[in-house]
Amino acid sequence: MARIISSKEVIFAVAYLLLLSVLAGLTYVGWRLTRASASRPRTRVIGPDDDPEFLRRLGSEDNPRP
């Protein structure tokens, strides 16, 4: 025998699915925000080996090899 579903049960089921969808979306957005801030590159400090002017100034006359 088939069971007849009332409109209140349908409304409850739809509201429950909507609530689950919203909670899943908020969880996903929160997870993505924390991952985005964790993987953000740090500011770099330029050292002498990263500076092309410094490397150009290091000529053979400045540092002769024996």
Q: What does the pLDDT look like over 6-59, one tens digit per residue? A: 899 999 999 999 999 999 999 999 999 888 777 666 777 766 666 777 777 776
Residue type, 42: R
How high is the pLDDT of residue 56? 74
How high is the pLDDT of residue 31? 92
pTM of this prediction exceeds 0.75: no
- Give dist(CA 54, CA 62) in Å, integer: 12
Domain definitions of the chain by residue range: 7-37
Helix (H) or strand (E) holding 50, with range, is none
Residues 6+ apart with CB under 8 A from 44: 50
